[in-house]
Amino acid sequence: QVQLVESGGGSVQAGGSLTLSCAASGWTFSDNCVGWFRQAPGKAREAVATIRTDVSGGATYYADSVKGRFTVLQDSGKNTIDLQMNSLKPEDSAMYYCAASRVRCFSLLPKTLYDHWGQGTQVSVSS
């Protein structure tokens, strides 16, 4: 049974940083796709970043709203996918979810193509 668990959320001031982590059991981050999504109250869940995990270290894709501020990377030793978030803004406040897909992705994948989801971790950024 596949289980994804997010951690690392919290409250920070604008301009601060947080690193979220997505840990998997029953799933190996190898030659597949992992996405980070976020959902603010009253808004649709949106893709933030995607990483295609493969032997070359993976390829990454980002939403325009987070490019240059967020970095998604794989920690093979811990079997986690981390989302490093810098220069946080109040509009980054949301519940953040990781998701895993068997699809080999070459861009941000829509949420409908993911097979497994975590329960989410809350990020709050104050001005």
Give dist(CA 64, CA 49) in Å, integer: 10
List Cα–Cα distances, 72 to 1, 41, 52, 80, in angstroms.
Answer: 25, 24, 10, 11
The predicted-structure confidence for 4-55, as pLDDT tens digits, reads as follows: 999 999 999 999 999 999 999 998 888 789 999 999 999 999 999 999 987 6
pLDDT score recorded for residue 55: 60
For residues 107-124, give the mean pLDDT: 95
The predicted-structure confidence for 102-114, as pLDDT tens digits, reads as follows: 988 889 989 999 9
CA dihedral 27, 98, 123, 108 (to 10 degrees): 150
